[in-house]
Every structure is written in C-alpha cells, then in structure tokens.
C-alpha cells in the first residue's frame, strides 16, 4: 500500500499526534502527588499559554462542527448564537472563576464545603456536575469516535463504538499522566493546530472566490435559498 493512500496518511497523522500528546504529558508530569501540583500545575503556564489552553478547551470538535453548521444554515442567527456562547464564557470568568480562584480551593465542592456540611455538599456537587457534563461528554466522544472511524476508513457501528471508547480512554490517560499542566499543553497544541487549519481553509475558500469576501457572502446567501434574508435576524423559528 502506498504511503500516499488517504487512510494510511490519516493513520500516520493520528498516531503522530497521539505520540506527541503523550510525550507532552510525560514531560509535564512531575511525579509529585501533591494536589496543588495536579490541579494547578504550580502556575507553570504563562498568561498567553493559559489563554491558548482556555481557547482549546472551548474550541472542541462539537463546537467547530455545530458552530459552522449553524451559521451556514441559520445565517445571521447562527452568528448571534456563536457570539453568545463566547460572551457566556467571559461572564463565567468574571462572575464565578475569579472569586473561586481567590479562595485557594480546587473544586466547587471544596468551596461549598466551607459553608455547608462537607459530605452532602460534595455529594450534591458531584451529582450536579455529572448531570451537566455527561450529556456533553457523550456527544463529544460520539462525534470524535465517528470522525476517527471515518478518517481511518473503518466501517460499521462496532468500529465507531470502539473508536469512541478508545478516545475516552485516551483522554483519561492524558489527565492522569500530566495533570492540569499536561492537559494545558494538550489544549495549547490543539488550539495552534485548529487555528492553522482555520486559516488554511479560509484561504482556500477565499481563493475559490478570487479573494473577494463580498462574492463569497453573496454566494452563501444565494445557496441558502433565502437571498438577502440570510443576513436578517429572527428568520429561524
């Protein structure tokens, strides 16, 4: 089989990315079981690196696919939805993240247990977190499993399930090996790769329309079937 075969190339790229990710986690690991080291990484990331890591946490596969799809189908309404999600993160950081960081605790359960009974507070917090996170986690892992199976050219629902389980196990290993510092480096790597891919795709699309954004927007509006209504808000029910 030629190394230029798409399936082989996809497998090599995925294996290389996985190897680099594990290497980053191993290098970030200190061998210290101190909670501060695991949860905070002793503040080893610079402000720029922290910003890239937070961006990587937000820019997931589901976010990329759903945001671009929503804008393509809903037009201006999709832009409003994408903007609102970004602003919600900013609001969360200003209202909640700052005060929690100043208390010297690691989790929301730690903070609540200061004022409430420790065991009920921790159990209740864990239940709420699982209820909120599990549906999103299932969607993320299912999408990642579908994409991996498609890239590797493995057919069947069993292959998708296997890829989903593999991706989930990989994420657990990343967090267990590298802690917050290693996870931060993984998010930084993902952000850089995604931004590079976005720039490349944007250039390819603009090149198709002779580097004229107006022509691109007109073509998008015409293809939507709504004409100029594509750029008006309130069109989606």
| pLDDT, position 1 | 45
* Residue 97 confidence (pLDDT) above 90: no
| Average pLDDT score, the chain | 79
Residues in the chain: 237
Rounded distance, CA 79 to CA 90, Å? 17
| pLDDT, position 71 | 80
| pLDDT, position 55 | 81
For residues 141 and 167, the answer to whether their CB atoms sit within 8 Å is yes
Domain ranges of the chain: 6-231
Rounded distance, CA 82 to CA 66, Å? 9
**Pair of tokens at residue 10:** 């996809």
**Pair of tokens at residue 44:** 């080893």
- Residue 12 burial by CB count (10 A; 0-12/13-18/19+): exposed, middle or buried? exposed
**Pair of tokens at residue 198:** 């976005």
Rounded distance, CA 196 to CA 181, Å? 23
pTM over 0.75: no
| pLDDT, position 90 | 79
Higher pLDDT: 193 or 106? It is 193
Q: What pLDDT band is residue 203 in, cutting at 50, 70 and 90?
A: very high
């Amino acid at each position: 089989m030629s190394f230029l075969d798409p399936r082989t190339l996809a497998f090599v790229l995925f294996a290389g990315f996985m190897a680099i990710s594990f290497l980053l986690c191993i290098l970030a690991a200190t061998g210290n079981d101190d909670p501060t080291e695991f949860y905070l990484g002793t503040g080893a990331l610079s402000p720029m690196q922290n910003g890239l890591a937070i961006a990587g946490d937000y820019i997931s596969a589901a976010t990329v696919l759903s945001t671009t799809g929503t804008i393509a189908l809903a037009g201006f309404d999709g832009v409003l939805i994408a903007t609102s999600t970004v602003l919600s993160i900013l609001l969360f950081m200003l209202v909640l993240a700052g005060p929690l960081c100043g208390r010297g605790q690691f989790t929301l359960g730690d903070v609540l247990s200061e004022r409430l009974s420790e065991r009920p507070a921790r159990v209740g917090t864990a239940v709420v977190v699982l209820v909120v996170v599990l549906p999103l986690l299932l969607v993320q892992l299912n999408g990642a499993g579908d994409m991996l199976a498609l890239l590797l050219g493995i057919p069947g629902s069993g292959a998708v399930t296997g890829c989903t389980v593999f991706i989930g196990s990989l994420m657990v290993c990343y967090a267990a090996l590298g802690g917050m510092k290693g996870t931060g480096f993984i998010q930084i790597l993902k952000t850089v790769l995604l931004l590079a891919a976005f720039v490349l795709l944007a250039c390819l699309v603009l090149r198709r329309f002779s580097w004229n954004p107006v022509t691109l927007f007109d073509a998008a509006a015409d293809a939507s079937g709504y004409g100029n209504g594509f750029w008006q808000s309130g069109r989606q029910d």
